[in-house]
Chains A and B, each alone.
Chain A
Amino acid sequence: MSNIVAQMKAKIIVTPKKAVVDPQGKTVQSVLEHIGFKGIGAVHVGKYLEIELPDNDAAGWQKRIDEACHKILSNPVIEDYQFTIE
């Protein structure tokens, strides 16, 4: 049995939709301002995921990762996602 060596990585960012109240983001923003980072705008707290891919089939993975994001890695009711494959 050979170990799978990652050839590429999918890098996925999931963020709360604008319409969803993001109390974490608001709290981080107020703490940032409190400790001196004045003049910043809204903060949005999301998630970052990395998936190791075993080959260089970027086009094929583009479709499959998109499906994974839609099906489980994000909830389209409350979150948006974006990803790159590199």
Chain B
Amino acid sequence: MNFAVLQFPASNCDQDALHAVVGVLGQQGRLVWHKEESLAGFDAVIIPGGFSYGDYLRTGAMARFSPIMQPVQKFAAEGKPVLGICNGFQILCEAGLLPGALVRNRSLQFRCEHVFVKTVANDSPFTAQIPADKLLRVPIAHGEGCYFADEATLEKLKANGQVLWQYVNAQGEATEQSNPNGSLSNIAGICNEARNVAGLMPHPERACEPVLGSADGRLIFESLLGWMTARAKG
């Protein structure tokens, strides 16, 4: 499979994301500069973390209008997989590809630590291979990761099973203490209604090898790869 890892001015997890899919999973892939205007030949898009455009105005607000985002909209509309990590999640929300928004952490602190997340819905391209009771230990590094959506949107997300991951404690409970940023319902990641576009604040690409302290993040990329392979076979 061929992965496009988008690169905006001030993306800073682009190399890590590329390493996860090429170096760890052994797939094809390359960085795609934000001024490029085509995603021809790619099977999946990863929008990596960072501080695109210096987070000016709002996180993800400027990146949303980069030339590459037109083909991303089309790519997503065709049902192909798009994964936004951290700043990538923020960009997808700004672009309207995912509902809601990410706002300032309730603590006002930049949080940089490992957290546990529970997979809430296993029936998505991004979660299908994650064992039901497996908690993922993955790092977060963000100042604006507090997920917000109005009540109606939140209800719809839950009813449709679009909440993919929740922050939990080591026992798997979604408590207030285990919520690092004040996200509504401890939401760490969601997908769209069609389930082919997902975003999450934690960094699975930084947790794909034991040498990094956790290889749990790899399950997300392996899920995606499995889904893409099955889809390609028709």
Interface set of A (CB-CB < 8 Å, partner B): 16, 19-21, 23-24, 27, 47, 72-73, 75, 77-78
Number of A-B contacts (CB under 8 A): 38
B60: nearest residue on chain A (CB-CB)?
A: A75
> Given A72-B57, A78-B101, does the pair A19, B108 have CB atoms closer than 8 Å?
no
How many Å lie between the Cα of A21 and that of B105 in the bound state?
10
The count of residues in chain B whose C-beta lies closer than 8 Å to any C-beta of chain A is 21
Q: Which 6 A-B pairs have the closest CB atoms?
A: A77-B101, A78-B101, A23-B108, A23-B106, A20-B148, A75-B101
* Chain A nearest Cβ from B157, distance in angstroms: 13
> Cβ of B107 and Cβ of A75 under 8 Å apart?
no
- Main SS of chain B's interface residues? loop
B contact residues around A47 at 8 Å (CB): 57
B111 contacts the other chain (CB 8 A): no
B contact residues around A27 at 8 Å (CB): 108
> Cβ of A23 and Cβ of B150 under 8 Å apart?
no
B99: nearest residue on chain A (CB-CB)?
A: A77
> Cβ of A21 and Cβ of B101 under 8 Å apart?
no
How many Å lie between the Cα of A41 and that of B87 in the bound state?
34
> Cβ of B58 and Cβ of A77 under 8 Å apart?
no
How many Å lie between the Cα of A78 and that of B58 in the bound state?
11
B104 contacts the other chain (CB 8 A): yes
Inter-chain pairs besides A19-B150, A21-B146, A24-B104, 16 sampled, C-beta below 8 Å: A16-B103, A20-B148, A23-B105, A23-B108, A23-B182, A72-B57, A72-B61, A72-B65, A75-B58, A75-B61, A75-B94, A75-B101, A77-B93, A77-B101, A77-B150, A78-B148
* Chain B nearest Cβ from A16, distance in angstroms: 8
